[in-house]
Amino acid sequence: MNASPSQPRPAEWTETQGLLPSVERDLPAGRHQFHKEQMMAQIHEDLRTDRTPTRPALAPRRRNPFLRRAIVLPAAAFALAGAVAAGVALSGGNGGGGRAALATGPALTTQIGAADAKGAPQLLDRISLAAADVSGPTPHAGQFVYIASKVASTYPQTIDNKTTVVSQKLHSRQVWNSLDGKNGWLIEAGETSDKGMTLSSDTPIDSAYNALVKLPTDPDQLLQRIYRDSDAVRDHEVPRDQAAFVAIGDLLTESYPPADLAAALYKAAAKIPGVVAVDDAVDAVGRHGVAIARQNDAAGERTEWIFDKKTLQFLGERNVVVKKVADSPFKVGTVTFTSAITQRAIVDASKQVPGRAG
């Protein structure tokens, strides 16, 4: 993938001038960026152990490659975690010297693409073949996985007991992760300082490259493993099939799965009930493509993996509200999370940008 030379502005994005004041914020129950997972994981650990929240943020200590906050926590828990996380981030408590990227405009919305359940297996088969045909580099010890993207979230915001739905400005994100997942670096506009922040863990991260290469590439065995591990951590409010679909999506975004594993992940996804093909979806930088998606009826949201219509290359993903849910502030057509991968590479050192020395 080619790096974006500047921050594109998607045609669907609307923004207003200025930043909103510090307020209580609820994070959506759908897709959350990895750094917010870190923050919430650290906050919960701090609350349990009465540690001070000013210590450096740590990467979540995952026992398996399929743990994510949308699986572990129900929507109600995100409301509390979101409010606490906002307070810590705005006070600089993340240890990175940055501040949370406050929303600058109204909710991002989109036209909902038509879903086709019958077309999903055929599309996933084509995507799997395309993924298997891509020969990526084989990393060696000491190298890092580098991923650059553009991201934004939409969430409820409460001021003086009045709740509105607002969206962040689309912003850049760069992540470096060591092959074992113990070390890394994050630079995200509005979320960290300009120099970035450390990602670290004293135990290996199972979603890191070294763990991915050990996963089975037989689709049936792989799917069985995904269900087993996501069952161990998901909240009961998250449907089992949805948790498995989300788990696969996590391995396709901020990671660098080998070609044979990527192909197997798509074949495994085809076996999950409720997976559909979508005729048109738009990533965070405005690129139109086809999508593989699954709807979480309880949340009223559809998670979409977006692919180039011609090359079937993975572009990014988004969560779209497709059904009105009681007591939810989100309207149908709201995009609660959007991302676009702009570059994925193996580099020799943390903070090194592809094409430039260290």
Asked if 29 contacts 329 with a C-beta cutoff of 8 angstroms, the reply is no
Asked if 171 contacts 101 with a C-beta cutoff of 8 angstroms, the reply is yes
pLDDT digits (tens, 9 = 90+) for 260-280: 999 999 999 999 999 999 999
Tokens for 228, please give them.
């087993």
- Tell me the residue ranges of DSSP E strands in the chain: 24-25, 103-106, 115-116, 144-159, 162-168, 171-178, 183-188, 197-200, 275-282, 288-296, 301-307, 314-321, 335-347
pLDDT value at residue 206: 67
The closest alpha carbon to 43, from 87, 5, 6, 105, belongs to 87
- pLDDT level of residue 357 (50, 70, 90 thresholds): low
Cα four-point dihedral sign 9, 13, 18, 20: negative
301-307/275-282 β-pairing: unpaired
Percentage, residues of the chain above pLDDT 90: 53
- On the question of pLDDT at 57 being above 80, the answer is no
pLDDT value at residue 204: 63
Tokens for 270, please give them.
């085809």
The closest alpha carbon to 139, from 260, 59, 257, 248, belongs to 257
Angle at 323 between CA 320 and CA 325, to 5 degrees: 110
DSSP string, 149-215: EEEEEEEEEEETTEEEEEEEPPEEEEEEEETTSSEEEEEETTTS-SS-EEEE-SS--TTSHHHHTTS
- Mean predicted confidence (pLDDT) in 55-66: 34
Tokens for 48, please give them.
């349990």
Q: Is 331 exposed, middle or buried (0-12, 13-18, 19+ CB in 10 A)?
A: exposed
- Supply the pTM of this predicted model: 0.76
Q: What span, in angstroms and rounded, lies between the C-alpha atoms of 226 and 39? A: 25
